Every structure is written in structure tokens, then in C-alpha cells.
Amino acid sequence: GENVEQHPSTLSVQEGDSAVIKCTYSDSASNYFPWYKQELGKRPQLIIDIRSNVGEKKDQRIAVTLNKTAKHFSLHITETQPEDSAVYFCAITSNYQLIWGAGTKLIIKP
Amino acid sequence: EAQVTQNPRYLITVTGKKLTVTCSQNMNHEYMSWYRQDPGLGLRQIYYSMNVEVTDKGDVPEGYKVSRKEKRNFPLILESPSPNQTSLYFCASSFTGGGYTFGSGTRLTVV
């Protein structure tokens, strides 16, 4: 079946620096690419998403870029803060369902 | 407020005692799904439903049942729970092809 590869599995950055998480996928029919943030013990929450007719989308310190030709998309967090520490999941649509990446644990060092 | 409501939040039960975890959404979403989350294994789909009376197996359906008699409700049934079903469970809903809204989660312990 379709799958999504997410890298890295763990990312440690200094507070104030930028963080980038990348996902690659195989289903060329996918047209919706969300990112979720999950804090410890809490539910995953949608933080940003992009559709395939758009190459980039920004929301304050968070941005997502999509390269449909190369089949990869990335989450960019700038000026990282302690509250950005969480696990981040990417996903793609395939046959009307979301296929999930394995997650990236983002650690913000003070 | 638009939300997905799961109950209970925490549950400790004994092996073999049937239990139901309820899930209800008030957003008129067609799609609903159940996931389990175990340390280091991300989100694994148990069952999903594209609409009323339409359900399908996900990646890890063994030991679970679901039903979708009404659009808003999607209960998860464990007929004979076993310790390997100890996990954190999430219900989610969406419009078809859209982003998911997750419930708060149910932490289940089977002893």
C-alpha cells in the first residue's frame, strides 16, 4: 500500500533556531498534505495543511512546502520556542484516507 | 463547539470483560476512524467508516469491532479484551478527504 516516510525521527534544536521535518510519499494522486502536532499525552492537532495546487503556505512561524514532482513536502518552524517541543506527524491522502508518517520528536534545547 | 467526544478518558478492566469506548462528533462528518497509539509505533488505524453502515478494517483490526448506525456515533467494541490491547486510543472524524479532528483519547489498561 501507500506509505509516507518521515525524517528525522528525532530532531534537537537550540531555542530560537529553525527546525525542518521532511516527508516523502509514493502516491502521485495525493492532493492533501496536513501536519499534526501531538504534545505528550494529548491528542494530535492539525497545525497546518496544504493542497496540491499550492507550493507553499505560511502561518506565523510555521510553513509547509510541497514539491509534487519530487513527491516530498516539509514542515518549517522558525524561531523555535519551548512550547514547540512535541511529536509532529505528516500525512497524505490516499483513497480518501490519511496515511501517516511515523512521527518526529522535536526537542527544543534552552 | 465543534468537537469529537470520546468516553471514557481512562479505563482499567480485566481480561475478557467486554467493553465499549464511545465516540461522537457534532460536525456532520462522513468519515470516522479509530486509532491506537503505542510508544514508538505512531498511529495505527483499527477501523474506519466512510458513512453510515459502511465500515472497513484498518491495519490492526483483530480483537475489535465497530458499528456506524448513525452518522455522529462510531463506538469501538472490545468483545474479549486482552493485555496486548492496553493502549491509548483515539477517535477521529473528517469530511471525506479533509483534515481530521481527534477526540481527547482513551487510555485503556487491560490486566
**pLDDT tens, residue by residue, B54-96:** 999 999 999 999 999 999 999 999 999 999 999 999 999 998 7
Q: Tell me the three cell numbers of residue A13.
A: 534544536
Q: Tell me the three cell numbers of residue B109.
A: 489498561
**pLDDT tens, residue by residue, B23-54:** 999 999 999 999 999 987 789 999 999 999 99
How many Å apart are CA B88 and CA B108, to the nearest integer?
Answer: 6
**A positions 31-70 inside 8 Å of B (CB):** 31-32, 34, 36, 41-46, 49
CB contact at 8 A, B10 and B106: yes
Give the Å distances, CA to CA, from A89 to B9, B32, B43, B75.
23, 19, 9, 25
Q: Which residues of B touch A89 (CB under 8 A)?
A: 42-43
How many Å apart are CA A109 and CA A22, to the nearest integer?
Answer: 20
Please state, for a pLDDT cut of 70, what percent of chain B lies above it.
100
What is the reported pLDDT for B96?
77
Average pLDDT, chain A: 93
Ramachandran assignment for A35, one of left (phi > 0), alpha (psi -120 to 50 degrees), beta (any other): beta
Residue A1 pLDDT > 70: no
**pLDDT tens, residue by residue, A60-91:** 999 999 999 999 999 999 999 999 999 999 99
